[in-house]
Structure 1
Amino acid sequence: MNSAPLVILADPDCQSAGQILAERLQLPLVDDSTGYDLVLEVLPEGLQLQPLGKKAPGPTRVDFVSGAVAHRRQFGGGKGQMIAKAVGIKGGVCPAVLDATAGMGRDAFVLATLGCEVTLLERAPVIHALLEDGLFRAGKADDAELQAIIARMQLINADSQQWMTDQAAAGQRYPVVYLDPMFPHSDKSALVKKEMRVFRPVVGDDLDADALLDSALQIASHRVVVKRPRKAPFLAQKTPSYQLEGKSSRYDIYALKKL
């Protein structure tokens, strides 16, 4: 395999967009992906991250228009979902949420679907590019309800710990801060296992997850919500105010003030 861990391959109709993205992400733009481990493909239908080689999984892309995320939007249980209870959505209360570990944006999309204004922080430039592309395509979809949901999602490419520390020092507060560190993760679903395999070479482990909790507690005005594998230890060994537990994961809620 070639030494570059990630390269960009653009469709013939997307060469200009590929060049712009390559310069922005400071990645090589290649004409042939032979011999590489991982490529970020620029296609007319959007961006996708594609691992190569034997037994490589299919492409990973952010899609809010169709597939599992869209299905959850329609049939996911509404305000009865555990994540909704964790962030404090009830009745007419839909607190603004800072999702400091946005990833593929699925949880943020659920919260925006339920009426929350959500600020998404993603520090990995490649994952940010995938999420930005997914939000752009969903915002252009011929679906007024979906457009309204996407309008409630603001994406920022930043290191969450430093960004939250700086914003808190400037007096900025968010009612709810949501954390879902990528690793470790006990979810055995095919989707999660595929994403872990694809993302690990790109973003590594969330080794600063404990420090993230401290920064979140600085900027949250009402509560911090941490999503964890069900049997994982508490972040920073801090015992939460209470927990909501599911089959494979749980939510640790650090309550600061009543919503």
Structure 2
Amino acid sequence: MRGPPARSACPMSVKIRIEPLAPSFREAAAAWAARLGLPLELAEAEFALQLGDQGLQLQLLEDLAPGPVRVDFLEGAAAHRRQFGGGSGQMIAKAVGVQPGVRPQVLDATAGLGRDAFVLATLGCPVTLIERQPIIAALLEDGLLRAAGDAEVAPIVARMRLLQGDAIALMGAWGEAPPQVIYLDPMFPHRDKSALVKKEMRLFRPFVGDDLDAPALLAAALQLASHRVVVKRPRKAPVIEGARPAYSLEGKSSRYDIYPKKKLGS
């Protein structure tokens, strides 16, 4: 699940340190610091990548900051959706083409915290995840490793493979069989306004910004995918510049733009 870093862990303007939450985690924190090229000590840090009993987490260091963000596939929202999320009736399942006897191979080229990829893996789809921001990729890797130790969830994350790097470059140099479906959820200024998403965006926006290369990302996906490309967008957002989707599935806050190439199951 581990890939080599493709770029520095954070933009030069963002000050972040690695912080063990107990002495027993100092050695592991030092290993992360060396791997990500981040300091263990930085008094003026704005963020801390913390390591403790609950794994790796990102914490904003300011008064009245929201709590940390970590990847957790065992409890919370991921567990609730796994147990009560509606199965193959979910809109994302319909968007990628899940149907009786068909569980397409999916490349999630904008993995983020892996929530959508985990839903698809829960439904039985093999999913390759690409995350280009090294700190977010580290959180995701840590979450996958912890989940792999749980008897119930391990078979699901076994269907998930993480690559860290630039999705456009990785897709352009793809040396395997093309994924049947490529799934894209680019960062966009107008996102879901729920408290959880606002909290995460407050933390991650300084690191990732907006995906200004979304048109190039879509073009690379359309070139590589064998059957379809799916783009998740805020419901009222414009389509990504370039090829036009054949149709869309629309929900309350999001929609899925579908770019079919070949019928799944053929």
Aligned to 2:4: none
Question: Aligned partners of 1:233, 1:201: CA distance in 2, in Å?
Answer: 23
SS state of the match for residue 257, structure 1?
coil
- The one of 128, 148, 155 equivalent to 1:119 is 128
- The one of 28, 40, 47 equivalent to 1:29 is 40
Q: Which runs of 5+ in 1 are unaligned?
A: none
CA deviation map 1:222-254 (0-9, x unaligned): 000000001111112432011000011100000
Indicate whether 1:200 and 2:209 are aligned. no
Indicate the RMSD between aligned Cα atoms, in angstroms: 1.3
Aligned to 2:72: 63
Q: 1:185–1:229: 8 Å Cα contact kept in structure 2?
A: yes
SS state of the match for residue 129, structure 2?
strand
CA-CA distance at 1:35 after TM superposition: 3.9
Aligned to 1:148: 155
SS state of the match for residue 221, structure 1?
coil
Aligned to 1:19: 30
**Residue 161 of structure 1 aligns to which amino acid in structure 2?**
I
SS state of the match for residue 182, structure 2?
strand
Question: Aligned partners of 2:108, 2:36: CA distance in 1, in Å?
Answer: 23
| Deviating 4+ runs (over 3 angstroms) | none
Aligned to 2:145: 136
Question: Aligned partners of 2:191, 2:202: CA distance in 1, in Å?
Answer: 14
- Tell me how many residue pairs correspond in the alignment: 251
Instruction: Give the helix-richer structure, 1 or 2.
Output: 1
CA-CA distance at 1:206 after TM superposition: 1.2
Question: Aligned partners of 2:46, 2:86: CA distance in 1, in Å?
Answer: 39
Indicate whether 1:103 and 2:108 are aligned. no
Q: 2:104–2:125: 8 Å Cα contact kept in structure 1?
A: yes
Q: 2:219–2:242: 8 Å Cα contact kept in structure 1?
A: no
Question: Aligned partners of 1:257, 1:4: CA distance in 2, in Å?
Answer: 43
Aligned to 1:213: 218
CA deviation map 1:60-81 (0-9, x unaligned): 0000000011100000000000
Question: Aligned partners of 1:174, 1:48: CA distance in 2, in Å?
Answer: 31
Residue 171 to residue 40, structure 1, CA distance change in 2 (3 Å): closer
Q: What is the TM-score with the length of structure 1 in the denominator?
A: 0.94
Calculate percent identity across the aligned residue pairs. 63
Question: Aligned partners of 1:77, 1:127: CA distance in 2, in Å?
Answer: 28
Q: 1:226–1:251: 8 Å Cα contact kept in structure 2?
A: yes
**Residue 151 of structure 1 aligns to which amino acid in structure 2?**
A
Aligned to 1:241: 246
Per chain length, whose mean CA-contact separation is higher, i.e. which structure has more relative contact order (CA < 8 Å, sep 6+)?
2
Q: 2:14–2:206: 8 Å Cα contact kept in structure 1?
A: no
Aligned to 1:5: 15
Question: Aligned partners of 1:34, 1:45: CA distance in 2, in Å?
Answer: 24
Question: Aligned partners of 1:213, 1:165: CA distance in 2, in Å?
Answer: 12
